[in-house]
Amino acid sequence: MKYSVLFIVILLIAAFFAGCTQPAQAPSQPSEIKVGAIVSMTGPNSNIGKNMWQSAVVAADEINANGGVFVKQYNTKIPVKLVQGDDESTRDGGQKVATKLITEDKVDILVGGYSSGVTSAYQQTVAEYKIPYIVTGASSPIITHRTDIDTSTVFHHCPTTDAYGKYTTNFIDQVIRPAVNKKFSFPADRPFRLALLYQDTAFGQGVQAAVNETITKNNLNIQLVSQQSFKMGDSDFRTALTKIKEANPDAVYVAAAPNEGAQIIPQARRDVGLNTIFLAVENNDAPEYYKGIAQYGEYSIIESRFSPYLTPKGILSDAQTAFKNKYFAKWGTYPDMMGASTYEGTYIAAKAIENAGTLTKADTRQALMDLKMPQLIEYMKDSTISFTKDFRESQFDLWMEQLQYNSTIGESRPNIVWPDNLKMTEFVLPDWYKPGNP
């Protein structure tokens, strides 16, 4: 009996110490890292949305081909699973799909977002669940500047309207204005007559504000002779263009989506007879835009950072070419710049999780704040992808392209004309160009 009691006591003590010394139960290792991609697969922005999704798929395939993302907490590589969320190009659709990705699919991180209006509609949900979100398409600075909700988990990996509005205005001042003055023997102090045609959304208004601010702040000799807006999705711009023509501009800066921009330039030149230089925002550097503007796009300008039809010489030319080739092999078409930034966004998401060493959202968010990774396929300031501490924006190097018509393919193709270190050809004022009033 005594021995039995002693035996039980020993067993209990042994069990107690065994319990104390047994390693804590490790959290179960997830079989995949879920990256939610919010893209416009349907609706008016579906061209760009599909390009973004397909580029993310190329990136995920590459990451998984290397075994996935190493997560220190589990001491292993975990594959990436992309979860598609179609925002239907609408605010309601965006809200619906963001909620689904976060609450049902339980994604670890989000990438994508094209329209600023659509993206801003579901930011409240992103803020509520504190999901790290790398925005790769919506260009309005309000995405990370707004103060009505917490945007601390949102990171902007595409130039904002502030950035390219300023860049394009400086190009006009430094390149187009002197060229017009020289060709038409205008005095050097003649104010350049610029007209704006912009989408009446956060995106278009952002460009308008950036142009106005750049002119005022830098005291540029540019006069805004007409500022016309249009509603998103409009297809008839003839009246607005007629009003712009009435103002006799030297150039017209168009802040529009590719489906709008591809109609604006033909309607301006073909229907209204507005034979001037048109400048387009970077999102128009997409195959559909080139197809839509056809010969009317000749000599027009696009501000860009990644083009489906040109690869600037430099250290990233091989990486860009490899991405384009992989994309073409998989999808049979070429990626646009929103695709390029979403491709990079997927890599950034993977790198942030790797640096965090866990799938904890707060750690991933901090890893994004601290991120310093080499540029991938787009030229970045200091050749590094990192986010500013104040508004979490990455800094891109931009360029300006001028299009030349190729009658064999029936479309125009771009050449870089600015800045000098990337320049492929000189900026040209065509013979048919008509300047504004002297």
Partner 1 sequence: MYDLGILLQIVFWGIYAGCIYILLATGLNLIFGVMKIVNFAHGEFLMIGAYVTATVFFLTGFNPYVIILLSMLALIGIGAVVERLCFRPILGTSKLNEIFLSIGLIYIFQNGAAMIWGDEWQSIKSPYEGITVPLGSLTVPLDYIIIMGVTAIILCGLYLFLKRTKTGREMRATSQNRKGAMLVGINVERLDILSFGIGCGLAAAAGTLWVVSGQVFNPYMGSIPAVKAFAIIILGGLGSIPGAIIGGLLYGIAENGAAYFLGGVWKDAISFIILIIVLVIRPTGLFGESGE
Q: Where on the chain is the footprint of partner 1 (CB under 8 A)? A: 42-44, 46-47, 200, 228-231, 233-236, 238-240, 242-243, 246, 259, 262-263, 266-267, 270-271, 273, 288, 292, 294
In whole angstroms, give the CA distance from residue 371 to residue 355. 8
User: DSSP letter string over 143-209?
Assistant: HHH--SS--TTEEE-S--HHHHHHHHHHHIIIIIHHHHHHHTT--TTPPEEEEEEEESSHHHHHHHH
- Indicate the residue among 238 and 381 with the shorter CB distance to partner 1: 238
To partner 1, the closest distance from the beta carbon of 255 in angstroms equals 13
Contacts of 268 (CB under 8 A, 6+ apart): 237, 241, 244, 245, 252, 274, 276, 278, 296
- Indicate the residue among 155 and 327 with the shorter CB distance to partner 1: 327
- Indicate the residue among 236 and 382 with the shorter CB distance to partner 1: 236
Give the phi and the psi of residue 255 in degrees, each rounded to 5.
-105, 95
To partner 1, the closest distance from the beta carbon of 327 in angstroms equals 16
To partner 1, the closest distance from the beta carbon of 227 in angstroms equals 9
In whole angstroms, give the CA distance from residue 362 to residue 368. 10
- Indicate the residue among 47 and 99 with the shorter CB distance to partner 1: 47
Q: Give the residue carrying structure tokens 């023997």.
A: 185
To partner 1, the closest distance from the beta carbon of 61 in angstroms equals 23
- Indicate the residue among 242 and 355 with the shorter CB distance to partner 1: 242
- Indicate the residue among 97 and 417 with the shorter CB distance to partner 1: 97
In whole angstroms, give the CA distance from residue 345 to residue 134. 6
The 8-class DSSP code of residue 283 comes to: G
To partner 1, the closest distance from the beta carbon of 428 in angstroms equals 22
Element containing residue 361 per DSSP (H, E): helix 361-370
Of 122, 97, 115, nearest to 259 (Cα)?
A: 115
To partner 1, the closest distance from the beta carbon of 250 in angstroms equals 19
In terms of DSSP bridges, do strands 154-156 and 133-135 run parallel, antiparallel, or are they unpaired?
parallel
To partner 1, the closest distance from the beta carbon of 193 in angstroms equals 17
- Indicate the residue among 248 and 395 with the shorter CB distance to partner 1: 248
To partner 1, the closest distance from the beta carbon of 213 in angstroms equals 21
Token pair recorded at residue 225? 């002779």
Question: b vs e for 362-384, b when ≥16 Cβ sit within 10 Å of the residue's Cβ?
Answer: ebbbebbbebebebbbbbbeeee
Estimate to the nearest angstrom the gap between the alpha carbon of 375 and the chain centroid. 15
- Helices 337-356 & 46-65, crossing angle to 10 degrees? 40
C-beta atoms surrounding 30 within 10 Å: 15
- Indicate the residue among 98 and 244 with the shorter CB distance to partner 1: 244
Question: b vs e for 160-174, b when ≥16 Cβ sit within 10 Å of the residue's Cβ?
Answer: bbbbbbbbbbbbbbe
To partner 1, the closest distance from the beta carbon of 24 in angstroms equals 52
- Indicate the residue among 36 and 258 with the shorter CB distance to partner 1: 258
Q: For residue 264, what are the β-bridge partners?
A: none
349 contacts 111 by C-beta, under 8 angstroms: yes
- Indicate the residue among 87 and 288 with the shorter CB distance to partner 1: 288
To partner 1, the closest distance from the beta carbon of 251 in angstroms equals 20
